[in-house]
Structure 1
């Protein structure tokens, strides 16, 4: 049975639009300043598998290396009590439009209240990255049911919506 999938494209055009959720003391978010393509692959699978992220499943080591080693790509990892709780990637190939390329929590940390704080961290990091003029992200109805709500609660606005049949 085919069901449709709606993809939402959201944006923020000023750092003042962030409606931040405070970061808990038991969540540490650290930038991975030394590119490690295998780590990004692991994080993508850890966070994305429950939502059937599959767009990078065919990527080999050289593809991951080509992405992660670019100056326009940055990765942060969130830790709770030593365990990876989630991560996000920022990607800004044109120097001004920054995408939250991937964002999410590890399955065992869903529903723990980390999503809003981690997304707030991502938004602040994007705006603190010198040169960012616009921040955007996309999500879809196949993602976590609270994803769209979290983006909107942090201040993102939908600027485009696309309906597609899904498999």
Structure 2
């Protein structure tokens, strides 16, 4: 069985494009995961992506996860609500000053609490100043990402409200696959 998936690619071409969301009420903090951890990243990936069919990294070995996370200019920023991981943004430096927001999302229990706009704003700001933390990288000239029709219902609106502009749309048929949650049987 297959499903039709629309993928939209969006970008910002200047730090001035970012329109930050206001911080949510309560004890929400965003912290960089300073030590690359395949275990923690896989937890975040499955916890966020279980209900929106993230599957591309599920078959990776530990070594492949480690390789992806330790590339120069790759960072993971995690939102915590009262000390509990609520979501994350993973970014990766690319050629010619581009930074891709590779993964972004919230654990289902934390959606609808105004954390997503704040986390995206924070992550995009960190993408724009990435070269300050990685001196061998060129300054960021472009921040981009993609989202698709499998993502959360508010994803596209959040990206547009943060100042991203659409630059490409693709429609493809994909096999429908079951995605495990953060633990077997979820």
TM-score, normalised on structure 1? Answer: 0.95
Counterpart CA distance in 2 for 1:2 and 1:56 is: 19
State the distance in 1 between where 2:96 and 2:32 align.
19
State the partner residue of 1:5: 5
- How many residues are matched? 167
Aligned 8 A contact 1:85 1:105 in 2: yes
Q: CA deviation at 1:95?
A: 5.5
Deviation, 1:158, is 0.5
| Cα separation, 2, equivalents of 1:31 and 1:73 | 11
Structural mapping, 1:1-167, within 5 Å = 2-24=2-24, 25-94=26-95, 96-130=97-131, 131-167=139-175
Q: Is the 8 A contact 1:72 1:95 kept in 2?
A: no
Measured against aligned partners, the alpha-carbon deviations of 1:45-72 in whole angstroms (never above 9, x if no partner) come to 1101110100111101000011111122
Unaligned runs of 5+ in 1: none
SS at 1:112's partner residue? coil
RMSD of aligned residue pairs (Cα, Å): 1.2
Q: 1:72 and 1:3 mapped to 2: Cα distance? A: 34
How far residue 94 of structure 1 moved from its aligned partner, in angstroms, is 2.0
**Structure 2 segments unaligned to the other structure (5+ residues):** 132-138, 176-186
Deviation string 1:131-162 (CA, Å, 9 cap, x unpaired) is 11100000001110110111011000010000
